[in-house]
Chains A and B, each alone.
Chain A
Amino acid sequence: MIINPLLCNPFFSDQVISLSPVIFKDYFGLTLRDIEKILDFALSKGGEFSEIFLEYKIYNYIRMEEDIIKETAENIILGAGIRVISGEKTGYGYSNDLSLNSLKKIALVAASIANNPSIINTKPLSPIKFPQNLYSISIPIYKETISKKIELVEKVYLAAKNYNSKIKKVRVYLEDEIQYITIANSEGLIVSDARLLVKLICISIAEKNGKKDSGYYGGGGRVGMEYFIKKLSPKKIGEQASEEAILLLDAIDAPAGEMSVILAPGHSGVMIHEAVGHLLEADFNRKKTSIFWNKMGKRVASPQVTIYDDPTIPNFRGSLNVDDEGTIPKKTLLIEKGIMRGLLQDRLSAKIMKMLLTGHGRRQDYTYIPIPRMTNTYIERGEYDPEEIIKSVKKGFYALKYQGGQVEDSGKFTFSVSSGYLIEDGRLTAPVKQATLIGTNIDILNKIEMVGCDLEFGMQTGTCGKNGQAVPVTDGCPTIKISRMTVGGRK
């Protein structure tokens, strides 16, 4: 049924085959006229807006453990989702079958959300182009031979295994994908993109005197092979994972109770992602479930805090040439010197709230309705020297690496630290394991006392979940001091 040139996925064989993006030329085997017809069909019951999202994705995976390449896999994702909006209601249907007949059928399913005579027709489709390609690379990994990819995996594995004799088990995973999409809507928009994504991660398990612990490290993004030569070597990935596992062997239980907390630069962006990002997604605000819904223009954080979500950072995991609704994304100011300034919008929320689109409408795949999501979220650098920040704490907790976090609309949020240090008399002392930190966002944002000048981004391996949909994201953060926060250690 579909586009055979793409089946020459180079992962299949050990030769590089040049992939031409045939898919864009013929829009998944459909003509512009076909797509207009489908969009019109979707409006036949009186909907105001119709849209089709076509997706073809090739995902490859290699797993190494116990000194061997244990498994390789390839997934072909193929389908279309059709959405119709009528007032605030959305009708949605999807299918793997991209024949015109099947698409007309799902268009009708989606159309049924409205129940009126047809009021508008689809405007003639005119293809748009994005201003820049954010995924510009030299050596695409999806075109790389499988031997080259295995070589990369083995380098990480060996670096992790040889780091220390206490490293007992190592697992390395390489995932790469190329997602071709075409989005068209009844307002006349049609746009295509080819999004590449890579993730290389290592998990090490160390053991000493019957005590075990694990470490994690990784990298990637919308990058090419050159990233693992110039930016982040496989050796570093392996060594960092093992270093954390070894560090944790001698780590003590985290302290319990309220104390000063310093967040290390980079990975600590997860705090901003949870404490701020989610609750500034427009859907939670138009529904007034977010604690921020009535605070636009008001103080919600200490004056040192400025936060952006920027989908336009070249080669980042969260970056998008075009969002999943066909909007060209913009760097979006969320909080400026403590004042709430913006929301992350998708089409539906922007329409209902009468606000401008920001290009944050995302979906996991064609089976899902797009919703407002983060991309690359970070807290802007401040003025403090990180050393000075650590020196300012007599007794506290230094959070280094994370397992993740969660927030609810009330503003209660957590983030789980996988490793950190005690702070005693302005110095980092004993390594500390596993602790969850909890607070209410506006309270904690106001307790950010110092923001460092050392902005870094975390590992390019993060995935964010919302309403059951997973999308790639990154976040960033300089060294930050929170005057008091509850640390969930053990007593």
Chain B
Amino acid sequence: MKEDKENLMGLAEDLVNFGRKNGADEIEVSIIQGYEFNVNVRLGEIENLVEASSKKLFIRIIKNKKVALVKSEDFSKETLERLILNTIKRAEFGNPDEFACLPKRQKLKIDISSLNLYDPQISELSTKKKIGLAMETERIALMDKRITNSHGASFNTNKVKRILINSNGFSGQYIETNYSLSIGLQAGETDARVEGYWYCARRHLRELETPEEIAKKAVERTVRQLGAKKIKTQNVPVVLEPNMTSELLAFLFTCVSGISIYQKASFLADKLGEKIGNDLITIIDDGLMPGKLGTRPFDSEGVPTQKTIVIKKGVLESYLCNTYAARKLKLKSTGNCSGKGVGPNNFYLMPDKYSPEEIIKSVDKGLLLIRTIGHGLNPVTGDISRGAFGLWIEKGEIVYPVSEITISGNLSKILNQIEMVGNDLDFRSRCAGPTIKIGEMTISGI
């Protein structure tokens, strides 16, 4: 990247000054500059190879407590100054909002380099090596004769520089890297195919699972669905694999987001301090864990990130807020501002002592949930209803795969029905959780 030559930091500073001089009460400028590499390979050949760099600039202006935003991919100074002038003018057409303001300047709690967000190896990795990782992953997967088709394997790297400056004196920047390797497979004949995939995403190349690990997991996760049966509609215990717990947590995140709360668009509105789940549930949002995907020194409006206990042994201790939601709710920002809204840092369910095998063993008759499709999440009510794929458990053993079922329940009830929490927490995404067992959910089948 040629970021140094361009002096984007200087540009952001100039724009903040320009905005202040021309009537903005408060102004925030952020710049995201990215370098992307992506290769898809399929059946041993390259399908697509993408290499590109791009940058985006975001401005928030507050004038007379009225908010106006602008985003531009055109970086010419003339354009940007015109945009700022026009945005100040446009702000006048909004209504004053007493809660609107930029965060007060706060010192970062840590040294950015200690967060380990950047892997210098990204500049050294050759195109050939990158293509090779994807090729190798698919080659190993296709060696298994039960695999009948491939969606292809992908290797992706991103290097992103983030700059943020505001008129309250905040100024910060950092560079982060991301790597991901993934593959999608099919097994079975055309009219009875099953689908499976596996991926790994990390900030550091050395932490990425190897092509062999990814290929083998993808194969295993695909072929275990072959020969699926339909089952009767019934209420049974459901075990969630870690990636399914992560999906559930992403939904819970929406429900504890300060924005959903002040909008009354969450079943957890007005529940702060109440017992909303059982003792097994402790949920944390932590932006300061070194090297993790959701880690960042400050959020997208310059509030230092922190470790926030969201639910402690079932008691709702904190909502996750940006500055605006926090002011609306008379709380403090938790460093969760993301774009225009609120987003997770590393949002996770605290693991317990059980191995996934022990959890499955404890189920007399129930479902191991391995994949869901569709929508069907309603934060206002907590209702969940999704298409599902799973493995049927009888007397503690997995007996056969099931498909064409749906799974439904209500998050408010589920939080009180989690009976076991696993020890297999792995931060594969910003929302992460271990294997869990839910006492009862409705499975719809035939």
Residues of A within 8 A of B (CB): 1-2, 4, 7, 9, 11-14, 65, 68-79, 88-96, 106, 109, 112-113, 146-147, 150, 168-169, 171, 203, 205, 207, 212-214, 254, 256-258, 287-289, 291, 293-294, 367, 369, 403-416, 418, 433-440, 442, 486-491
Contact = CB atoms under 8 A, between A and B. Distances in A.
Interface stretch (B161-169, B190-198, B240-248): B190-198
Interface string B65-103: 001111111111011001100110111011111000000
Contacts of B195: 408-410, 412
Contact of B94 (A70, A91, A289): A70
B225 to A, nearest CB: 10
A315 B195 CA distance: 38
Given A205-B265, A438-B387, A486 B69 contact: no
A75 B68 CA distance: 11
B263 A70 contact: no
A76 B79 contact: yes
A410 B374 contact: no
A265 to B, nearest CB: 21
A4 B78 CA distance: 9
A289 B151 contact: yes
A106 B405 CA distance: 47
A486 B374 contact: no
Nearest to A210: B270
A488 B234 CA distance: 11
B71 A489 contact: no
6 contacts: A7-B82, A287-B149, A288-B190, A294-B190, A418-B378, A434-B383
Contact of A76 (B73, B194, B234): B73
B131 to A, nearest CB: 11
A149 B90 CA distance: 12
Contacts of A96: 54-55, 73-75
Contacts of B381: 212-213, 433-434
Nearest to B148: A288
B444 A2 contact: no
B interface, how many residues as a size bin? 35 or more
Given A9-B86, A89-B47, A409-B186, A69 B93 contact: yes
Interface stretch (B305-313, B343-351, B406-414): B406-414
A403 B404 contact: no
Interface in B307-325: none
B233 A212 contact: no
A212 B260 CA distance: 13
Nearest to B324: A70
B267 interface: yes
B309 to A, nearest CB: 26
Contacts of A76: 70-74, 79, 83
B416 interface: no
A207 B403 CA distance: 36
B94 to A, nearest CB: 5
Interface centre among B91, B190, B385, B407 (most CB of A within 10 A): B385
B76 A72 contact: no
B159 interface: no
B275 interface: no
Given A256-B408, A412-B195, 10 more contacts: A1-B76, A72-B91, A74-B83, A76-B79, A90-B49, A169-B264, A213-B380, A414-B376, A414-B387, A489-B385
B94 A438 contact: no
Contact of B442 (A94, A256, A367, A403): A256
A413 B444 CA distance: 15
Contacts of A146: 90, 93
Contacts of B376: 403, 414, 416, 434-436, 488
Given A2-B76, A147-B93, A488 B49 contact: no
B115 to A, nearest CB: 27
A414 B445 CA distance: 13
Contacts of B82: 7
A71 B67 contact: yes
Contact of B374 (A72, A92, A406): A406
Contacts of B407: 488
Given A1-B79, A434-B381, A404 B403 contact: no
B52 A367 contact: yes
Contact of A93 (B51, B193, B373, B442): B51
Contacts of B378: 213-214, 418, 434
A291 B86 CA distance: 52
Contacts of B386: 414, 416, 436, 488
6 closest Cβ pairs, A-B complex: A488-B406, A414-B374, A12-B86, A414-B387, A68-B95, A73-B69
Contacts of A294: 190
